[in-house]
Amino acid sequence: MLWRAVVLLATTVVVISSEKVRYDKYRVYRVHPAGDEQLRFLASFAKYHNDIQFWKEPRVVNKPADVMVSPEMQTSFLEGLEANGIQATVYVDNVQTLIDNERGVRRQGESFGWEDYYTLEEIHGWLNSLSETYPDVVTPIVGGSSYEGREILGVNITFAPGNPVVVVEGGIHAGEWIGPATATWIINQILTTNDSAVRDTVRQFNFYVFPNLNPDGYVYTWTTDRNWRGTRTPYTPCYGADPNRNWDFHWGEEGASSTVCSSDFAGPEPFSEVETRTFSEFLASLGDDFQVYLDFHSYGQMLMFPYGLYSVTAPNYDDLLVITTKAVEALTARYGTQYTFGSIVDTIYAAAGSSLDWVMGVLGKRFVFVWELRDKGQYGQLLPADQIIPNSEETFDSILSILRDVLAQIESSHS
């Protein structure tokens, strides 16, 4: 019964269109795999992503997965679940409604803000303007390039030579718009805060902030497919690889796919994607001053640290667990938002080939963290713009907690 249902799904015809993709009457189901056979059945759907796309992949027994299903495939999908004894609930009734309601407001005369989402061109324009507004501390910086020739643009905020360096990145998964929005909010907060305690903390670090690590994919989410995830490198028969499975540390092992059309396709080889290769070269160039790496994803409300592998444990696991425990307490204090925390593999699932694991495993950086930002699945990566500011505020509270703990450890190591 398991494979008969899969064969039925395989008859779907993949249609490639240059028109903007709509998701009318697409539903998101939360499914609960209770055993390995059910897990394998769900995982097999990833090969047919045009009609069935996972928002949260089925990787672990007894952990829910979220799957978006086209109206044409819902009957077959539900029959397959029933035949294999898999429970499911409708989490999103109409994905297009979420897309239509995602955007926020822009005040008259406002060139950039945090009550709406912004295009890559608008984000880059704002980043470039900061060096004119803050010429003593801000320098635009190119951290790499994309397959289609776009810059991975960021800013370097330098308060004093020799300060520990913090790298902040968002948008490695193109459709997770809250990541770039949070990164730009944090830039603004670092530069404009009037809170003396915040200012005293951030000015002991130098920052490199890159809101959009996957610029081609991000542009594509605006022009063509809001739910796009990967790069835009052409493969056969599909486009793109998952740039957060493409890094050269235990590449292609646990929690990544070798199937070209899968959402977590790791690429044909490590660093096959221009974006990951060039950005990794930039990170390696930062040297010993580079000490902290902060990465924004969505969704799920989790704060995690390496590794995304069952076979490797962070050498400072206990310290990282203490740091994330305190950071989550700081995050929750503002609005009561509940986060889970721990290592990637313990908190969410195995995910080999990530930027985080490479930064720790290859560059040897000790303070490496990733956020799965709001929410728990009501909106998924289609988070309404009116949540940008509260999400960013609570996230920044957790970042400050982490930075203060990093400073304490640095001071302790020098004493």
Confidence grade of residue 14 (pLDDT, cut at 50, 70, 90): very low
pLDDT 10s digits, 228-256: 999 999 999 999 999 999 999 999 999 89
9 exposed, middle or buried (CB, 10 Å; 0-12, 13-18, 19+)? middle
Q: For the residues 392-411, what does the mean pLDDT come to?
A: 97
Residue with tokens 């029933």: 82
Q: For the residues 8-30, what does the mean pLDDT come to?
A: 69
Confidence grade of residue 46 (pLDDT, cut at 50, 70, 90): low
- C-alpha 131/C-alpha 138 separation (Å) is 5
Distances (CA, A) of 93 to 24, 45, 101, 275, 404: 10, 20, 14, 35, 43
Distances (CA, A) of 193 to 133, 183, 189, 200: 15, 15, 5, 10
Q: Which of 372, 393, 394, 411 is catalytic?
A: 372
- C-alpha 33/C-alpha 47 separation (Å) is 18
Query: In the prediction, which pLDDT does 69 show?
Result: 95
Query: In the prediction, which pLDDT does 47 show?
Result: 62
pLDDT 10s digits, 209-226: 999 999 999 999 999 999
Domain boundaries, the chain: 18-100, 120-414
Pick from 48-52, 123-127, 206-210, 226-230: least confident: 48-52
> Catalytic annotation on 372?
yes
Domain 18-100 fold is: Alpha-Beta Plaits (3.30.70)
The answer regarding whether domain 120-414 maps to CATH 3.40.630.10 reads yes
Report residue 320 as tokens.
């990282």
